[in-house]
Amino acid sequence: MAEIHVMISSCERNVGIATAIRRKPVLANFTSKLQQTMADEDEVKLFGMWASPYSRRVELALKLKGIPFQYVEEDLSSKSCLLLKYNPVHQKIPVLVHNGKPIAESLVIMEYIDETWTNNPILPQDPYDRAMARFWAKFIDEKLLMTARKVSFASGKEKEQVIDEITEQLKLLESELQGKEYFSGPSIGYLDIVASVLVFWFGNVQEALGVDMFTQEKFPIIFGWIGKVFEIDAVKECRIPKEKHLEYIRTRLEALKSASK
Q: Where are the domains of the chain?
A: 44-116, 127-260
Mean predicted lDDT score pLDDT of the chain: 87
Q: Does the domain spanning 127-260 belong to CATH 1.20.1050.10?
A: yes
Task: For residue 127, say if its preceding peptide bond is cis, omega within 30 degrees of 0.
Answer: no
- Arithmetic mean of pLDDT, 226-252: 94
Q: Are 153 and 161 in contact (CB under 8 A)?
A: no
What confidence score (pLDDT) does residue 232 get?
96
Query: Which of 234, 200, 258 is closest to 54 using CA atoms?
Result: 200
Contacts of 115-118 with CB under 8 Å at 24 or more apart are: 117/65, 117/67
Task: Tell me the per-residue pLDDT of 135-174, one tens digit each, with 9 for 90 and over.
Answer: 999 999 999 999 998 988 888 899 899 999 999 999 999 9
For residues 249 and 240, what is the distance between their CA atoms, to the nearest angstrom? 12
Measure Cα distances from 9 to 1, 16, 18, 21, 105 in Å: 12, 10, 14, 18, 68
Given a cut of 50, whether residue 181 has pLDDT beyond it is: yes
Q: Are 147 and 169 in contact (CB under 8 A)?
A: yes
State which CATH number among 3.40.50.2300, 3.30.70.360, 3.40.30.10, 3.40.50.150 fits the domain covering 44-116: 3.40.30.10
What confidence score (pLDDT) does residue 171 get?
97
Task: Tell me the per-residue pLDDT of 97-116, one tens digit each, with 9 for 90 and over.
Answer: 999 999 999 999 999 999 99
Helix or strand run (H / E) with residue 39: helix 2-41
For residues 220 and 22, what is the distance between their CA atoms, to the nearest angstrom? 71
Task: Tell me the per-residue pLDDT of 19-74, one tens digit each, with 9 for 90 and over.
Answer: 544 554 444 454 444 344 444 458 999 999 999 999 999 999 999 999 999 999 99
